[in-house]
Amino acid sequence: MKSIPAPERSGSGAPTPPELGGIRFDRPRLTDGDPMWRLARSSPHIDANTPYFYLLWCRDFAASSAVARDGADLCAYTAGFVRPARPDTLFVWQTAVASAWQSVGLARRMLDLLVADRYRYVECSITADNPASDRYVRAFARSRGAPVRCEPFLGPEHFGGAAHAPEILYRIGPLGPSGSPGSPGPLGP
């Protein structure tokens, strides 16, 4: 397992620029689509989508998504979108961290950088057999002093009868201040 130092904070409490121990946090680019797809394909709990899907995501949803790079290699991504009917809400669609980089804080750091003070709520859906995701989302909520509301979201009936664990909708918020003044956030607009 790799290790990175804890996020440093400046005297004002703001996070330092998005680079930690050689890991660089960034918006996805079109060239990230293929490595994102490969990481998704090798990750448990993530539905397989087509490479084309991730390429479109990188083109059209980069502003609400983040990646972590180890040099030229993609080691993690968070793909999110702003709900059209709720512009104050970031829906985190997928987060995947390469196994060698798990549990060192990459998922948390991507979400912190992505959300900053731009959104009042974060939503995602998690299956009951995924405690790591539950922990990661609850840790984020705690850091922002925000309640977490969970409710049934999508059941097997929504997946056309395909075997799919029920998705529970997590709604986190309202979010307290991130401690990083200067919206639109450290990842830029």
Q: What does the binding site for ligand COA look like in residue numbers (CB under 6 A)?
A: 43-46, 94-97, 102-108, 130-133, 135-136, 139
Give 1 or 11: the residue with its C-beta nearer to ligand COA.
Answer: 1
Question: Which of 65, 38, 58 is CA-nearest to residue 49?
Answer: 38
Structure tokens at 189: 């607009």
Residue with nearest beta carbon to ligand COA: 107
Cα distances (Å, whole numbers) of residue 18 to 24, 53, 122: 6, 26, 21
Distance CA 26, CA 66 (A): 6
Distance CA 189, CA 179 (A): 18
Q: Taking the mean position of all CA atoms in its chain, how far away is CA 153?
A: 19
Task: State which H helix or E strand residue 76 sits in.
Answer: strand 73-82
Q: Quote the least distance from Cβ 54 to ligand COA, whole Å.
A: 14
Q: Quote the least distance from Cβ 116 to ligand COA, whole Å.
A: 16
Q: Quote the least distance from Cβ 27 to ligand COA, whole Å.
A: 18
Q: Quote the least distance from Cβ 123 to ligand COA, whole Å.
A: 12
Give 20 or 107: the residue with its C-beta nearer to ligand COA.
Answer: 107
Give 62 or 111: the residue with its C-beta nearer to ligand COA.
Answer: 111
Cβ pair 145, 61 in contact under 8 A: no
Q: Quote the least distance from Cβ 80 to ligand COA, whole Å.
A: 11
Give 11 or 48: the residue with its C-beta nearer to ligand COA.
Answer: 48
Give 42 or 181: the residue with its C-beta nearer to ligand COA.
Answer: 42
Cα distances (Å, whole numbers) of residue 37 to 47, 64, 75, 162: 10, 17, 12, 22
